[in-house]
């Protein structure tokens, strides 16, 4: 419905005479109520908020005394009443609105202070659907919308962090300016939107296995960043990243750092149940990965894959970082070191370099949620994460020669690594160590040749190695190249129309080959 043009929008200062307070989180409430009382503001409140304010020695009116109806339905119904919403919605410069309030004995409010039942926090716990639904606030969002809509007459606060600014304004001149009210209105609608999105997404998880008809994302601002991929690009990071990582030392992570950390964490989480594993990342691509009985040995094997790229790179471990391993890593300048735990002496030694960031990985469980998102052409691509894992039972040997037990271990290791390498991707490995990594090539043969080149560059012989390919070999030439390099076993998805030719080539060169039936494209 259109508002009549004769009702002028009020951008004047607002003097707060009556305030309605109904909060779950009582942080800062005593200070706010004291400041309002000092200004002669009449405070109306509900249930626990009223008791809290009264216990602080501040006079308060109960909302049920205004409405004439006590709280009902075990507290579910208390503020959904015309006396409440009339006082919030009335345009106080519009004579007709004020006449209607007067006829029904309703007084207007100039301030609403509301925060909501902690639905987002509650659902992080292992609770029932019934308990989750009970923690959905109804009256709070309704009041927020009423007050935030009436921004030209009323101020709404939905965060304790905003109380101090309001108190300062009241102490200074006893009124609230329009710009502040407008900012608080925006925060209020945003808070309500985030709240509704959390509920919607929770119910989506409970009711649907597919993709929603409309995608609503809810990521709180975590931090502004100095810049994006390049200094001329502004940037920020959103989400609850502190649930996954904790920066123990060093300056703020950059945009590119977050991309690299994400790539590094996803690699080591794939080795969650393995012996110590170290992954070295540069520009989101692993330059070396290795598993060994001890972290120091895993680092040395990973570093041996490529001794140049780790400079200024990211090192991630799936295990505690001890002092001896830290000393080895410290011989090369690394921008970020990530581990689930740091020994105290290792942490103290690594902190001596100011420019290095040390990041604690809080959980090695999957950091990938139900969906992965990527922006394209003003829209968003949405897909399930690539978190399929393999074991011996998933593999199908297609050649005359079967892989040995040791080769099977190396094949599974290489398969985990190639999953995180940009397509086209080919990984050579032996003894749970990458020997050569070819990534991002337009041709699979090119990727294989580049991996062979890198292995040769750092003196790593490929005799007896295994090869992992993220997608099928479309022609036999890829097998021939691997055989020429010295590989003895191959793991690949299979599924090419020329699989017979590819298998025949593997048999010709006395190679073992297994099909996974799963592709790991990563663009």
| 469 pLDDT higher than 80 | yes
Spatial distance between the Cα atoms of 339 and 326, rounded to a whole number of angstroms: 11
Q: Which tokens belong to 453?
A: 């080149």
| 52 pLDDT higher than 80 | yes
pLDDT at 134: 83
Where does residue 312 rank: exposed (0-12), middle (13-18), buried (19+ CB within 10 A)?
Answer: exposed
Q: Greater confidence, 324 or 2? A: 324
pLDDT at 197: 87
β pairing state of 379-383 and 512-515: unpaired
Alpha helices in 209-322 (DSSP H): 255-269, 295-305
Q: Residue 521: which H helix or E strand, with range?
A: none
| 228 pLDDT higher than 70 | yes
136 close to 143: Cβ distance less than 8 angstroms: no
Please compute, for residue 146, the number of CA atoms within 13 A of its CA located in the half-sphere on the CB side: 27
Spatial distance between the Cα atoms of 267 and 298, rounded to a whole number of angstroms: 14
Alpha helices in 379-423 (DSSP H): 405-418
Tell me the per-residue pLDDT of 22-47, one tens digit each, with 9 for 90 and over: 999 999 999 999 999 999 999 999 88
Tell me the per-residue pLDDT of 184-193, one tens digit each, with 9 for 90 and over: 999 999 999 9
Tell me the per-residue pLDDT of 386-435, one tens digit each, with 9 for 90 and over: 887 776 677 899 999 999 999 999 999 999 999 999 989 999 999 999 99
1 pLDDT band, cuts 50/70/90, is very low
Where does residue 377 rank: exposed (0-12), middle (13-18), buried (19+ CB within 10 A)?
Answer: exposed
**Shortest CA distance to 170 belongs to which of 9, 41, 54?**
41
Range among 48-57, 82-91, 289-298 rated most confident: 289-298
Q: Is 0.75 surpassed by the pTM of this model?
A: yes
Catalytic residue among 26, 149, 351, 522: 149
Q: Greater confidence, 449 or 124? A: 449
Task: Classify residue 110 by its DSSP letter.
Answer: S
Could you give phi then psi for residue 289, rounded to 5 degrees?
-140, 140
pLDDT at 391: 66
Could you give phi then psi for residue 230, rounded to 5 degrees?
-130, 155
pLDDT at 248: 95
SS3 376: strand
Instruction: Kindly state the percentage of the chain with pLDDT values over 90.
Output: 59
Our CA dihedral for 211, 522, 468, 501, rounded to 10 degrees, sits at 80
Instruction: Kindly state the percentage of the chain with pLDDT values over 70.
Output: 95
| 209 pLDDT higher than 70 | no
Q: Greater confidence, 75 or 237? A: 237
190 close to 30: Cβ distance less than 8 angstroms: no
Mean pLDDT over residues 139-163, rounded? 92
Tell me the per-residue pLDDT of 492-504, one tens digit each, with 9 for 90 and over: 999 889 999 999 9
Q: According to the 3-state scheme, what is the secondary structure of 119-142?
A: HHHHCCCCCCHHHHHHCCCCHHHH
| 455 contacts: CB under 8 Å, gap ≥ 6 | 305, 428, 435, 436, 461, 462, 485
Q: Is 149 a catalytic residue?
A: yes
Spatial distance between the Cα atoms of 128 and 146, rounded to a whole number of angstroms: 31
Mean pLDDT over residues 104-109, rounded? 86
What Rg do the C-alpha atoms of the chain give, in angstroms? 31
284 pLDDT band, cuts 50/70/90, is very high
| 247 contacts: CB under 8 Å, gap ≥ 6 | 253, 357, 358, 359, 360
Mean pLDDT over residues 130-141, rounded? 86
pLDDT at 413: 95
Q: Greater confidence, 82 or 249? A: 249
350 close to 356: Cβ distance less than 8 angstroms: yes
Spatial distance between the Cα atoms of 35 and 171, rounded to a whole number of angstroms: 8
β pairing state of 285-291 and 379-383: unpaired
Q: Residue 23: which H helix or E strand, with range?
A: none
Tell me the per-residue pLDDT of 326-342, one tens digit each, with 9 for 90 and over: 999 999 999 999 999 99
pLDDT at 368: 63
Out of 270-284, 385-399, 403-417, 464-478, least confident range: 385-399
Q: Greater confidence, 321 or 200? A: 321
Catalytic residue among 17, 26, 169, 283: 283
Spatial distance between the Cα atoms of 19 and 473, rounded to a whole number of angstroms: 71
43 close to 58: Cβ distance less than 8 angstroms: yes
Task: Classify residue 342 by its DSSP letter.
Answer: B
| 223 pLDDT higher than 50 | yes
**What is the average pLDDT score of the chain?**
89
Neighbours of 52 (CB within 10 A): 18
């Amino acid at each position: 419905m259109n508002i009549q043009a004769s009702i002028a929008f009020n951008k004047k200062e607002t003097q707060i005479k009556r305030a309605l307070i109904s909060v779950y989180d009582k942080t800062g409430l005593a200070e706010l109520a004291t400041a309002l009382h000092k200004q002669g503001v009449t405070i109306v409140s509900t249930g626990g908020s009223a008791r809290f304010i009264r216990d602080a020695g501040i006079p308060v009116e109960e909302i049920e005394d205004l409405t004439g109806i006590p709280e009902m339905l075990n507290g579910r119904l208390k503020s959904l009443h015309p006396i409440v919403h009339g006082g919030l919605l009335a345009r106080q410069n519009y004579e007709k609105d004020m006449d209607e309030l007067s006829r029904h004995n309703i007084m207007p409010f100039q301030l609403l202070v509301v925060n909501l039942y902690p639905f987002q926090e509650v659902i992080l716990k292992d609770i029932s659907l019934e308990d989750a639904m009970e923690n959905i606030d109804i009256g709070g969002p309704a009041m927020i919308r009423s007050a935030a809509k009436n921004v030209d007459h009323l101020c709404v606060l939905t965060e304790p962090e905003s109380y101090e600014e309001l108190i300062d304004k009241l102490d200074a001149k006893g009124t609230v300016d329009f710009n502040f009210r407008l900012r608080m209105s925006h925060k209020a609608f945003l808070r309500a939107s985030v709240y509704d999105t959390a509920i919607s997404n929770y119910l989506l998880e409970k009711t649907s296995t597919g993709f929603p008809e409309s995608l609503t994302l809810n990521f709180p601002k975590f931090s502004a960043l100095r810049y994006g991929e390049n200094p001329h690009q502004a940037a920020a990071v959103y989400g609850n990243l502190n649930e996954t990582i904790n920066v123990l030392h060093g300056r703020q992570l950059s945009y590119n750092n977050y991309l690299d950390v994400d790539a590094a964490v996803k690699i080591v989480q794939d080795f969650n149940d393995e012996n110590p594993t170290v992954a070295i990342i540069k520009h989101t691509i692993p330059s070396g990965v290795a598993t060994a009985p001890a972290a120091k040995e895993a680092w040395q094997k990973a570093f041996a894959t490529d001794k140049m790229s780790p400079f200024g790179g990211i090192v991630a471990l799936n295990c505690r970082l001890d002092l001896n391993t830290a000393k080895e890593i410290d011989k090369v300048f690394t921008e970020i070191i990530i581990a689930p735990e740091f020994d105290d002496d290792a942490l103290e030694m690594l902190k001596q370099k100011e420019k290095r960031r040390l990041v604690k990985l809080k959980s090695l469980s999957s950091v990938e949620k139900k969906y992965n998102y990527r922006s394209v052409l003003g829209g968003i691509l949405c897909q399930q994460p690539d978190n399929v894992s393999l074991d011996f039972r998933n593999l199908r040997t297609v050649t005359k020669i079967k892989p040995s037990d040791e080769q099977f271990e190396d094949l599974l290791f290489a398969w985990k690594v190639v999953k995180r390498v940009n397509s086209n991707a080919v990984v050579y490995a032996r003894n749970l160590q990458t020997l050569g990594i070819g990534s991002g090539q337009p041709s699979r043969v090119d990727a294989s040749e580049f991996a062979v080149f890198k292995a040769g560059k750092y003196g790593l012989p490929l005799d007896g190695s295994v090869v992992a390919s993220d997608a099928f070999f479309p022609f036999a030439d890829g097998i021939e190249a691997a055989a020429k390099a010295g590989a003895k076993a191959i793991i690949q998805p299979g599924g090419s129309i020329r699989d017979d030719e590819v298998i025949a080539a593997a048999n010709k060169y006395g190679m073992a080959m297994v099909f996974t039936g799963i592709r790991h494209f990563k663009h």
